[in-house]
Structure 1
Amino acid sequence: MRIQLENLKKCFGDKTAVDIQNFTINDGEIIGLVGNNGAGKTTLFRLMLDLLKADEGNVKMFPNKQQAENEDIPSEINPSVSEDWKMLTGAYIDNSFLIDFLTAEEYFEFIGKVSGLSKEQTEERLKDFEHFMNGEVLGQKKYIRDFSAGNKQKVGIIAALLNRPQLVVLDEPFNFLDPSSQNQLKRLITEFNQSTGATVLISSHNLQHTVEISTHVALLEHGVIINDFDNTDGKAEEKLEEYFNI
């Protein structure tokens, strides 16, 4: 999915959280969004997901043409006036996305059902995440609210990928995960992108993980994208280290 941000602005009182004049995310890219605390990363994601209303401007989405034809989706979607994008999008921002009074099995079955998957199809797709779950998510006989922070994170990420969306939005997905799970997640995201052609947006404070998986890295400062680095062969790492004084 290709995404176009046009004159997008969001203020909270006197503070400008997001101010992006024009920015294009091309179909099939993995975009790493980086910046210091308060740079506007989460606010930008919430605007793109229509969880916040922009003060000005808009977000336009252009689904993959072939997939859109198969699913009877318009060739251009404005999330502020259409719900069609929801069929093509998987996102996890924080644990408020979870229905935590369900077990993991119940939650995945619910996500599968609203995505048009049968229980059997959902169970089959969950096999792709067995290594990532590491035996700590399914079969636990407890509610999601009683999971560790890391396992809640895994549930949210898996749910975002379950319907194989055209657009994936993950805010700080490496948070709460142990080093082994972080490495598994990097492989999972990369393989998902390669196998589905999905556009993936990730925000992260972990520059190493971001550089390793992103095709482009956008640097956000005070709500403005001040640079967009091509990350072919990890070329963005040196420039990011210079910016963050590493």
Structure 2
Amino acid sequence: MVEISVSQLIKKFGDKTAVFIPEFCFPAGEIIGLVGNNGAGKTTLFRLILNLVKADSGKVFFNVMDNSSVPRHGKDGETAQHISHLDEAWKQYVAAYLEEGFLIDFLTPREYFTFIAKANGIEKQDVEGLLEDYRPFLGDEILGRQKYIREFSAGNKQKIGIAAALLPSPQFVILDEPFNFLDPSSQNHLKTLLLEYKKRCHASILLSSHNLHHTTDISDRIVLMEDGFVIKNISERTDGAIKELEDYFL
């Protein structure tokens, strides 16, 4: 299991502070919904975590936990190896899909999935079996047709990117607006897929979404950002907490 913690993390673009988070931890084994209005800093935070942009200051740590006998954070039987961006090992635990630029659009979906599998040490003959877990989400429109990724609709590109992120079974998955471009049936398939994935792989999923309903449906924790700051960390999905979020966005 993997959790991600940030310390004194700051990113500015000119005079604007996009992210300023003194201390925060995204726990292991949870679906975490990151919500906030446009410009809150959600995507910038994801890019900082993934080392796609360089922080002005601060650190990101990937805490890889095992079941040894030394207590950690008050939890008996847990220890952690703390990995920073300086150690490339963090990449074996984390996967993401943020936007269409993550795709290789001159490949077919199967070629792309095979490429992702090879990059993660998965044998080519095992790819088909792994894709069966995602068939209800992807459908024959993607798995049954031989055409390039660039020829698919925005919604199907979204599906391909999400499935590719999950394919290597990472312990921590980051998804930016995963419900965007999806039709209602696909949105429901995705919610089921993410819940099953978390349970099967004991993984964390950090996702941002403007769709508060879908986010609260599946998230164990809701984190609210505003102007680059984390202003709420809601770990109990009570009616009062959900109402408070709804009122915030009125």
> TM-score if structure 2 supplies the norm length?
0.92
State the SS of the aligned residue for 1:77. strand
Q: How many residues were matched structurally? A: 237
Report the identity percentage.
53
Provide, for residues 60-97 of structure 1, a one-character-per-residue CA deviation record: whole Å limited to 9, x for no partner: 1111326xxxxxxx811102x11111111110000100
Pairing 1:96-115 to 2, within 5 Å after superposition:
96-115=101-120
Q: CA RMSD in A?
A: 1.2
Distance 1:14 1:52 in 2: 17
Provide, for residues 96-148 of structure 1, a one-character-per-residue CA deviation record: whole Å limited to 9, x for no partner: 00011000010000000011111111111000011001211113221001100
Distance 1:231 1:220 in 2: 17
Match of 2:19 in 1: 18
Say which is worse superposed, 54-63 or 232-241, in terms of deviation. 232-241
Distance 2:133 2:216 in 1: 24
> Aligned pair 1:78/2:79, yes or no?
no
Unmatched runs of 5 consecutive residues or more in structure 2? 68-79
Distance 2:66 2:84 in 1: 16
Distance 2:102 2:90 in 1: 17
Shift of 1:236: 3.2
Shift of 1:239: 1.3
Unmatched runs of 5 consecutive residues or more in structure 1? 67-73
Match of 1:45 in 2: 46
Distance 1:188 1:139 in 2: 20
Provide, for residues 8-36 of structure 1, a one-character-per-residue CA deviation record: whole Å limited to 9, x for no partner: 00000000000001111111111100000
> Structure 1: which 4+ aligned runs deviate by more than 3 Å?
231-236
Q: Is the 8 A contact 1:8 1:57 kept in 2?
A: yes
Distance 1:194 1:236 in 2: 24
Match of 2:73 in 1: none
> TM-score if structure 1 supplies the norm length?
0.94
Distance 1:192 1:162 in 2: 10
